[in-house]
Amino acid sequence: MNKHHKLFLVVITILFFLGCKKSETKSKEKKRPNFLFVLVDDQSPFDLKTYDPNSILETPNIDKLAEGGLVFDQARNMGSMNGAVCTPSRHMIMSGRTVWNLPKSAIDQKNNDYNEIEDFTMGAVFNDAGYNTMRTCKKGNSYPNANKQFTVVHDATKRGGTEESGSAWHSKQVLSYLSERETNKEEDPFLIYFGFSHPHDKRDGTPELLEKYGAVNHRDKNNVPALNEKQPQLQDNYLEEHPFFHGHPELRDEERVSGVWKNRDENTVRNELGREYACSENIDIQIGKVLDKLEAMGELDNTYIIYTSDHGMSIGRHGLMGKQNLYEHTWRVPFIIKGPGIEAGKRVKGNIYLLDVLPTLCDLAGIKIPETVEGKSFTSVIKGEKEEVRDVMYGVYAGGTKPGMRTVKKGDWKLIKYDVMDGAVRETQLFNLAKNPNEYLPEHHKEGEMETDLAENPKYAEKLAEMEALLLAEMKAHNDPYRLWNQPAEK
What Cα–Cα distance (Å) separates residue 201 from each residue in 84, 157, 253, 257, 311?
13, 11, 9, 7, 14
d(CA 196, CA 169): 9
| pLDDT value at 207 more than 70 | yes
Helix 167-184 to helix 266-296 angle (10° resolution) is: 10
Residue 407 DSSP one-character state: E
pLDDT band at 25 (very low <50, low <70, confident <90, very high): very low
pLDDT tens profile 213-222: 999 999 999 9
pLDDT of residue 11: 46
User: What number of H helices and E strands is found in the chain?
Assistant: 13, 15
Give which of 390, 429, 428 is closest to 410, Cα–Cα. 390
d(CA 245, CA 256): 16
- List helix spans (H) across 340-445: 357-365, 379-382
Amino acid identity, residue 355?
A: L
| pTM assigned to the model | 0.94
pLDDT of residue 487: 97
d(CA 159, CA 143): 19
What Cα–Cα distance (Å) separates residue 464 from each residue in 300, 325, 453?
48, 20, 11
pLDDT of residue 490: 74
The pLDDT of 331-342, averaged and rounded, is 98
The pLDDT of 94-107, averaged and rounded, is 97
Pick the range with the lowest mean pLDDT from 20-29, 119-128, 217-226, 357-366: 20-29
Across 121-185, where does the E strand assignment appear?
A: 132-136, 152-153
d(CA 176, CA 178): 5
d(CA 397, CA 314): 14
pLDDT band at 6 (very low <50, low <70, confident <90, very high): low
pLDDT of residue 26: 42
Radius of gyration of the chain (CA): 25
pLDDT tens profile 422-437: 999 999 999 999 999 9
Helix (H, G, I), strand (E, B) or coil at 162: coil
Are 454 and 374 in contact by the 8 Å Cβ rule? The answer is: no
d(CA 94, CA 121): 5
| pLDDT value at 115 more than 70 | yes
d(CA 426, CA 485): 8
User: Between β-strands 352-353 and 392-397, what pairing exists: parallel, antiparallel or unpaired?
Assistant: unpaired
pLDDT band at 469 (very low <50, low <70, confident <90, very high): very high
Phi, psi of 268 (to 5 degrees): -65, -45
pLDDT of residue 226: 98
pLDDT of residue 314: 98
Q: Is the dihedral of CA 196, 199, 202, 208 positive or negative?
A: positive
Residue 351, sorted as left (phi over 0), alpha (psi -120 to 50) or beta, turns out to be: left
Are 127 and 190 in contact by the 8 Å Cβ rule? The answer is: no
d(CA 34, CA 130): 12
| pLDDT value at 20 more than 60 | no
The pLDDT of 27-53, averaged and rounded, is 91
pLDDT of residue 489: 84
pLDDT of residue 30: 64
pLDDT tens profile 278-294: 999 999 999 999 999 99
pLDDT of residue 22: 46
pLDDT of residue 99: 98
Return the bridge partners of 79, or none: 396
Please give the mean pLDDT across all residues of the chain: 94
Percent of the chain scoring above 90 in pLDDT: 92
d(CA 91, CA 84): 12
pLDDT band at 28 (very low <50, low <70, confident <90, very high): very low
The pLDDT of 193-200, averaged and rounded, is 98
pLDDT of residue 326: 98
d(CA 373, CA 362): 11
Give which of 201, 213, 129, 198 is closest to 167, Cα–Cα. 198
